[in-house]
Structure 1
Amino acid sequence: MNDRMLQVEGLTKQYRGQRRSEWIRAVSDVSFDIRRGEVISLVGESGCGKTTLGRCLVRGLKASEGRCMYYPEEGAPVDIVSAGHREFKRVRKDIQLIFQDPYSSLNPRMTVFDIISEPLRANFKLSRRELEERVASIAEKTGLNPSYLQRYPHAFSGGQRQRIGIARALVTNPKLVVCDEAVSALDVSIQAQIMNLLKDLQEQLQMTYLFISHDLSVVEHLSDRVAVMYLGRIVELAPKSELFTRPRHPYTEALLSAVPIPDPDGKRERILLDGEVPNRAAPPSGCSFHPRCSYRTERCALEQPKLREIAPGHLAACHYAEELMLRSTHEQVKENVTSEAG
């Protein structure tokens, strides 16, 4: 069986700007793969294009360019970008999305049973009894009381509503689930419960996750690999342990400096980036990050770096990725502990 589940090549999503001749690229020439059974996380600040990319992968949005090849366990691969309706319908049940907002993503006029069973009715021909069995089974797995299935969403808390959203996404027994900021709208205590639930379900149901988040502390607990996005491009992609201990891109270094330290007495120098995120309608020349990078040189303003392999499995889009000695989260904590001990 092919270990690769999804292969993204040159994916681009652009929108027309205020002027007819103006085009804004939300996602620009992104390429990466997703392997079966892994959790790969996509991180970056708000507006970097990670949610747009995730929705293109489930065809919630139509990509402007590129390919997104899905390799099912049986049958021929399908290009999600260019597939016709009939061809895509064959694999639609395998790829599902968990939305960010547990309040606006549930139809207030539908019961919990109808919400969860809707994907089953769209993708399978099941009897009423079969529907009830499938819904009751996934409700139990996601921690929902089956006696609540005839209630409406307003009767539930945010955490319970997100469990309903998770049950709806998983009821078709998907192979790939895109989790779009699935815990960011929840209280911290509830976040931990939902994260543990997602991890347990992934192991039980043998699923693959693309986990989208702006919070690296959340990502560290769930991921096998992490991709960092900036201004519509992936600037670093690496195994989790590699990225957190040996970042290769200055933007990743800045993100890691913002991760909270568990020790209340711990100290860390926060890296504050220069300026604002560039205008997408008029992106900077060369490296898109260079106007905010403290390591920039003249080359950075002239030449756009390619995403390339720096070490086995570790890719970065920086001209000086091999040379820079960037600070990691763990190194900063270790330095603080050592200095206090001295």
Structure 2
Amino acid sequence: MADILLQVDQLSKQYPGARKSSPIHAVSDVSFQVNRGEVFSLVGESGCGKTTLGRCIARGLSASSGRVLYTAEGGETIDFLSADNTAFRRIRKDIQLIFQDPYSSLNPRMTVFDIISEPLRANFKLTRRELEERVTDVAEKTGLNPAYLRRYPHAFSGGQRQRIGIARALVTEPKLVICDEAVSALDVSIQAQIINLLKDLQQQLGMTYIFISHDLSVVEHISDRVAVMYLGRIVELAPKEALFVRPLHPYTESLLSAVPIPDPDGRRERILLEGEVPNPAHPPSGCPFHPRCRFRTERCAAEVPALREISKGRLAACHYAAELDLKGAPLEALERKEEVLL
């Protein structure tokens, strides 16, 4: 049985709209679990709610409803969202964020040492020597030269700045790290370095990641399981190999059709969706995806599909998920098709 570290239960986040009767549904009734030691990815196009969801989990934003059950050391289960100040202070060091922009997320008036040590000062009572030892250790683990810790962020490249952000997130020795588009602002070659660093650190330190991204090529490289979001809801959740080989939701199929082919002469059909993403203040009736779906029926417009298990470990919010034969991504890295097909 999987060792569950985090259980997200019916989490929703709404923002006030222009009228009180029309709130903006950024995240709607999302539920999933994250197992200890895995990389759980949230993917979807811009505006789907994945970043809002991640920040609600870390309590960077206040959720409108729902629970985030965190299993702390010793087996104690705590609702991270409703925990009182005493409990929150005790466990907040266990859940950390790596932000998207390595430029605006670092205070330009603080040295690298002060940036990395700030979470330690907030969560622990350490001597100056202990601070220096912890910061130097995490700097070395993240590929930063300890001799440069007295410098300011402007002296570093984008990739180095993101390493500083990673070091800041890891210095409290968290159990869960939420990577919010942690490589999207970097060049492709630097992206690969940071992804490999995150994977190495996970193996060394035994951490768990929630990895938020819109880039399925990156997600394929790092993930164990993937949840696909559309208009604030999870529409498919599956192990990575199964999802990339044979998606169960038409929206996932359209995303996979946009994954670049390594062969420059390669040709394949791109699935272009109809229309635009609906306004979250006025979501469509029935299935949120039905106005853009090529398989829609009258039932899709009238009935909201539940996120249900189609086969072991594979969930989809589509009335016809068990019947559709959808195309996966033609990635060379996926050789084991016969092992994961239904």
TM-score range, shorter chain: over 0.9
Q: CA distance change for structure 1 residues 332 and 155 in 2, over 3 Å: closer, same or farther?
A: closer
Q: Which residue of 1 aligns with 2:145?
A: 145
Mapped partners of 1:132, 1:152: distance in 2: 17
Mapped partners of 1:301, 1:29: distance in 2: 19
Contact persistence 1:12–1:28 (CA under 8 A): yes
Q: Would you say 1:111 and 2:111 are equivalent positions?
A: yes
Q: Which residue of 1 aligns with 2:275?
A: 275
Contact persistence 1:175–1:208 (CA under 8 A): yes
Shift of 1:22: 2.4
Q: Which residue of 1 aligns with 2:209?
A: 209
Q: Which residue of 2 aligns with 1:45?
A: 45
Amino acid at match of 2:130: E
Following TM superposition, the consecutive aligned residue runs of length 4 or more in structure 1 with deviations greater than 4 angstroms are 331-334
Shift of 1:42: 0.3
Q: CA distance change for structure 1 residues 160 and 85 in 2, over 3 Å: closer, same or farther?
A: same
Q: Which residue of 1 aligns with 2:21?
A: 21
TM-score, reference length from structure 2: 0.96
Q: CA distance change for structure 1 residues 94 and 333 in 2, over 3 Å: closer, same or farther?
A: closer
Mapped partners of 1:80, 1:266: distance in 2: 47
Shift of 1:330: 2.7
Contact persistence 1:266–1:333 (CA under 8 A): no
The number of equivalent residue pairs is 334
TM-score, reference length from structure 1: 0.96
Measured on the aligned residues, the alpha-carbon RMSD in Å equals 1.5
Shift of 1:266: 1.1
Mapped partners of 1:217, 1:136: distance in 2: 33
Q: Could you give the per-residue CA deviations for residues 77-124 of structure 1, whole angstroms, max 9, x where no partner exists?
A: 110111111111111110000000000000000000000000000000
Q: Which residue of 1 aligns with 2:220?
A: 220
Amino acid at match of 2:320: Y
Q: Which residue of 2 aligns with 1:340?
A: none
- After superposition, residues 1-342 of structure 1 pair within 5 angstroms as 3-74=3-74, 76-330=76-330
Mapped partners of 1:315, 1:134: distance in 2: 42
Shift of 1:20: 3.1
Amino acid at match of 2:247: P
Please state whether the residue corresponding to 2:104 is helix, strand or coil. coil
Mapped partners of 1:308, 1:20: distance in 2: 32
Gaps of 5+ in 1: 335-342
Contact persistence 1:99–1:165 (CA under 8 A): yes
Contact persistence 1:213–1:219 (CA under 8 A): yes
Please state whether the residue corresponding to 1:190 is helix, strand or coil. helix
Please state whether the residue corresponding to 1:330 is helix, strand or coil. coil
Mapped partners of 2:60, 2:172: distance in 1: 17
Gaps of 5+ in 2: 335-342
Please state whether the residue corresponding to 1:9 is helix, strand or coil. strand
Please state whether the residue corresponding to 1:165 is helix, strand or coil. helix
Q: Which residue of 2 aligns with 1:337?
A: none
Contact persistence 2:95–2:174 (CA under 8 A): yes
Mapped partners of 1:143, 1:71: distance in 2: 30
Please state whether the residue corresponding to 1:276 is helix, strand or coil. coil
Amino acid at match of 2:279: N
Please state whether the residue corresponding to 1:102 is helix, strand or coil. coil
Please state whether the residue corresponding to 1:118 is helix, strand or coil. helix
Q: Could you give the per-residue CA deviations for residues 9-28 of structure 1, whole angstroms, max 9, x where no partner exists?
A: 10000000122332111000
Mapped partners of 2:128, 2:331: distance in 1: 57
Q: CA distance change for structure 1 residues 265 and 2 in 2, over 3 Å: closer, same or farther?
A: closer
Mapped partners of 2:303, 2:282: distance in 1: 16
Contact persistence 1:78–1:88 (CA under 8 A): no
Please state whether the residue corresponding to 1:299 is helix, strand or coil. helix
Which one is further off, 79-88 or 216-225? 79-88
Contact persistence 1:249–1:321 (CA under 8 A): yes
Amino acid at match of 1:5: L
Mapped partners of 1:119, 1:166: distance in 2: 12
Shift of 1:265: 1.4
Contact persistence 2:261–2:330 (CA under 8 A): no
Mapped partners of 2:280, 2:107: distance in 1: 33
Please state whether the residue corresponding to 1:189 is helix, strand or coil. helix
